Structure 1
């Protein structure tokens, strides 16, 4: 967390800075665990000051600020990072600030409670090498076809829920939305990928697109810890629509017959309904 819907919401939330010019970047004093900032703040400032912002993109779970000339600032929230236009939740965990001119927006803030996120500056060539040519990042979950999704995973013996978290295979899906999309698709999360039929792969792909797009419309999910916020420091709304995630012991919202079950896969919690996702019918 944040996953693709939350990061896409962050991206859309700062679109108003396109056309603005970078006046300064700063690393506020912070006594907490430091994030990865590359290059150092002096070089970062030297390479970005005076540059116009031409686009705001997204690579998987990362917001990408594109500068004239092709350099890119990549903001990776990881577990608790936020990209904000409004004042951050606290000053203690403020990690990076970009001040703008020729723009209605004065500042962009990167806030990170746990310090696991990063802010990195790439040349265009470095960016392509890192995120396109390296093989570290798979196709975006909103862009991949069902055929490619199947071809990337169908030979794996891993449980499908675990495989969907592999960012080299498909990029953007995390623990929450993997559980939700498999519920919508009617596929048991422990089903091995190599046992899934073509028809089920099509259902998984359709559910993935539908769930992610629905979550984006609600501006992502703010869970019980309240960490995730949109660019204006407001809650997302999709947590109110979760069908199974975080609902252990509650009646399934789809069938209304069985309680949601929680199991652990690859050290992460998985939630499902044994009636809607019956292992004998899911593939």
Structure 2
């Protein structure tokens, strides 16, 4: 958390409010968020540059600059990007502040400091950001034909839940949307991928695209910890539509007969309905 829909919501906010703005000054607090390079590298790489686009790959925000470099922001578990008026009171754990030419400030806030902010050379992404270079297909940003998913599932005996979580295969899906997708597709999370037939593959493909799109439209999912918010500090609402995630012990709202179970798959808590997902 955040996953593809939440990061896409932040990207759209950045596209509206940060693209075209010049960064006049940069402050860096805790250096852990710039651990890949340094405080000085981030300040030098961003100061007096203009953000020319706001892109996304999987869970990574990628913002090209007019210098030819790009800025990468990875929110990981608890990161937030917030926009505020200059001089506004900053939240605790505000680790990067970008002063903009219109008087506003863009903040990177991260209580757990697992995320990071980096300036990198796009032509050296495989060296500087190997995790980005290794990403698989992005089901929203890329072309994602059903036949591509069919090739993926036929090529591996990996269980479906770990397959969906593997960012080198399909980029952007995390624990929430893997559970919701498999429920929509009526597939058990522990089923080997290469045992599902073409009809089940088409259901899975439709579920991936539909679940992610619906969550983006709802501004993502904001859970009880309220750590995910958009650029303006507003939460999403897709958590109200979750059918299985974090609903262990509840009656399934899809079939009305099963009880949502929680198990562990690939080291992650996994939720499913044993009636819907046989």
Q: Mark yes or no: TM-score above 0.5.
A: yes
Instruction: Write out the 4+ residue segments of structure 1 that deviate beyond 6 Å after TM superposition.
Output: 87-90, 131-134
Separation (CA, whole Å) in 1 of partners of 2:89 and 2:172: 25
2:118 is paired with a residue whose SS is strand
Q: Which position in structure 1 is the counterpart of 2:138? A: 140
* Residue 9 to residue 134, structure 1, CA distance change in 2 (3 Å): closer
Does residue 240 (structure 1) correspond to residue 240 (structure 2)? The answer is yes
1:164 is paired with a residue whose SS is helix
Separation (CA, whole Å) in 1 of partners of 2:150 and 2:173: 15
Does residue 74 (structure 1) correspond to residue 75 (structure 2)? The answer is no
Deviation sequence 1:125-175 (CA, Å, 0-9, x none)? 123666699851111022322222232232222210111100000100011
Does residue 164 (structure 1) correspond to residue 164 (structure 2)? The answer is yes
Separation (CA, whole Å) in 2 of partners of 1:89 and 1:247: 37
**Mapping of residues 263-278 of structure 1, within 5 Å:** 263-278=263-278
Structure 1 range deviating more: 90-99 or 115-124: 90-99
Q: Which position in structure 2 is the counterpart of 1:106? A: 104
Task: Please list every run of 5 or more consecutive structure 2 residues that lacks an aligned counterpart in the other structure.
Answer: none
Q: Which position in structure 1 is the counterpart of 2:48? A: 50
* TM-score, length-scaled by structure 1: 0.90
1:44 is paired with a residue whose SS is helix
The answer to whether the Cα contact below 8 Å between 1:183 and 1:244 also exists between their aligned partners in 2 is: yes
Separation (CA, whole Å) in 1 of partners of 2:246 and 2:24: 43
Q: CA deviation at 1:266?
A: 1.4
Q: Which position in structure 1 is the counterpart of 2:13? A: 13
Q: Which position in structure 2 is the counterpart of 1:35? A: 33
* Residue 208 to residue 89, structure 1, CA distance change in 2 (3 Å): farther
Separation (CA, whole Å) in 1 of partners of 2:51 and 2:246: 39
Q: Which position in structure 2 is the counterpart of 1:118? A: 116
2:55 is paired with a residue whose SS is strand
2:49 is paired with a residue whose SS is coil
When the two chains are superposed, the root-mean-square deviation of aligned CA atoms in Å is 2.2
1:23 is paired with a residue whose SS is strand
* TM-score, length-scaled by structure 2: 0.91
Q: CA deviation at 1:176?
A: 0.5
Q: Between Structure 1 and Structure 2, how many residues are aligned?
A: 273
Structure 1 range deviating more: 122-131 or 203-212: 122-131
2:52 is paired with a residue whose SS is strand
Q: Which position in structure 2 is the counterpart of 1:220? A: 220
Deviation sequence 1:46-96 (CA, Å, 0-9, x none)? 232222211011111011121114311000001111111148996331111
